[in-house]
Structure 1
Amino acid sequence: MKYITVMQKAILTLLCCCLITGSLFAQRLVSDAKIVYRIETPPQADPSFEGGTLTQYMKGHLSRVDIDFKSVHYSYLINSREETVVTLIDNHGDKYLIRAGKDEYTKELNEYTQVQFKDGTETKQIAGYNCKKAIGKMPDGQTFEVYYTTDLLPENKQYNRRFVNLKGIPLQFEIINKNGSRMHVVATKVDLYAVPGSFFDTPKSGYKEISREELMKMGS
């Protein structure tokens, strides 16, 4: 009987080691990825914003966010090494390019580093990944909901500065609009593959380069 007990202990120890090792290796450090989200707009939103998508690309220190609606397309090309952001806007065929340098990049990053996330108890599965709920609190006191997975850890924490303090990759989150309404962004597909470097190139033609101040004057 003592021999069986010893064997049982040995097997139990082996199983525990396997479970611990498995949980550690379940976490994947992500350098390259493409995540597609659907955008759920509030009922009072402009119908032209229905059916929108948000696509997040990552490649090392480079990242890109594409937001597509029926008639308007936004792209944000982020270089965390050079600390720059290039914004591309295609509004009914009118194309504009806006550059943000290191000063603006650092200012916005400092604002996002003040966002604090507090884990909740709710969980759900999104796009095949187990996610836990967290509430993000912004410096102005506003809060927003996010579900994130710890199975995927971004190699570049600044791939999306909004989530620089999050302990994983968000697969569902809220975006608060200027009028106070909220859009829900929910992942539908996660692809982990070598994203082409050309995805992050700034266009050399086809866009009119303007400043952020000029954009504001245009009423966009």
Structure 2
Amino acid sequence: MKKIIYSILIALLICGSSYAQQFIDKAVIEYEVKTNVKKTIGNGTWAEMLKENMPQFKTAYFNFTFADNKSIYKFSRWDESAKVPEFLRRGDEENIWYFDFVNDKFSMQKDVVGSKFYVSDSIPQIEWKISNESRQIAGFNCRKAVGKIMDSVYVFAFYTDEITISGGPCSISGLPGMILGLTIPRMYTSFIATKVMVNGVNVSAIKPVESKKPYTNAGLKKTINERIKEWTSEDDDEDSKMWRNQFIWGILL
């Protein structure tokens, strides 16, 4: 009799735990995005002059809205305590990333010094290595993964498989779950999910970025590199080269 009772209790516990774990397939995720702007502009004479009139960090909030395995990621608001100069704000406020994971489609709008560039292509592929390190973010258990983008830039992500979409901030994706924490050391930028809102999701806002003549990812990279050559010299010092790389990575991210 005791064996029967124990068997029933174990079965109930197993059923209860399976129902307790919920998998989210529609929500709005808010990210706090923090960049050390003084680090990104280097240490040259011109850079030091700029630093005098800018904050150490710029902190913005972005929303990742998703449903039906499609998503859109865009600017929401600035941290009220931060006084961010206009030339540091525009790109963040205008940039948009759209993903259709069902059809492997990606589109993006990027503001570059006041000019808009559009991309339409397949979803960028990132080679990931998953580790056993874990942490909690916004109430979700997350696992660490390390990836490499743009040939040489390492990204460190924490993702959860309790949110089913394979997405993340900007153009970073491809893990078996949603990225809730992301750090890009060479860009002095971190992304951390502050909350996940499952109610009142505006599904109609999830739509592709439209353009008559969009670039491919490779086409945008080629165009930006060509324009950078017009603005800079091959004889630039190491500090200028670092700033140039930061600028390019920010556009392609």
Give yes or no for TM over 0.5: yes
1:29-48 equivalences under 5 Å are 29-42=23-36, 44-45=39-40, 47=54
For 1:174-185, list aligned pairs within 5 A: 174-176=183-185, 180-185=186-191
Match of 2:198 in 1: 192
- Unmatched runs of 5 consecutive residues or more in structure 2: 42-53, 79-88, 229-250
Kept after mapping to 1: 8 A contact 2:120/2:214: no
Match of 2:14 among 14, 20, 23: 20
Relative to its length, the structure with more helix (as a share) is: 2
Aligned to 2:164, which of 153, 174, 182? 153
Contact 2:30–2:194, Cα closer than 8 Å, also in 1? yes
CA distance in 1, matches of 2:21, 2:214: 42
TM-score using structure 2 length = 0.60
> Taking structure 1 as reference, are residues 159 and 186 closer, same or farther at Cα in structure 2, changes over 3 Å only?
closer
Shift of the 143–216 alpha-carbon distance from structure 1 to 2, 3 Å rule, reads closer
In structure 1, what residue type is equivalent to 2:135? T
Using the TM superposition, give the Cα deviation of residue 172 of structure 1 relative to its aligned residue in structure 2, in angstroms. Answer: 1.4
Percent identity at matched positions? 16
Task: Say if 1:135 and 1:143, in contact at 8 Å, map to a contact too.
Answer: no
Kindly state the Cα deviation for residue 34 of structure 1 after the two structures are TM-superposed: 0.8
Q: Against the structure 1 CA distance between its residues 15 and 85, is the aligned structure 2 distance closer, same or farther, given a 3 Å change threshold?
A: same
CA drift at 1:97 = 4.6
Structure 1 residues 194-213: aligned runs within 5 Å: 195-202=201-208, 211=215, 212=220, 213=222
Contact 2:157 2:183 in 1 (8 A): yes
- Contact 2:29–2:197 at 8 Å: present in 1 too? yes
Q: Which runs of 5+ in 1 are unaligned?
A: none
Q: What is the root-mean-square deviation of aligned Cα atoms in Å? A: 3.6
Native 8 Å contact 2:156 2:182 kept in 1:
yes
Q: Distance in 2 between matches of 1:118 and 1:22?
A: 29
**Alignment size in residue pairs:** 195
Describe the shift of the 1:12–1:147 C-alpha distance in structure 2 as closer, same or farther (beyond 3 A). Answer: farther
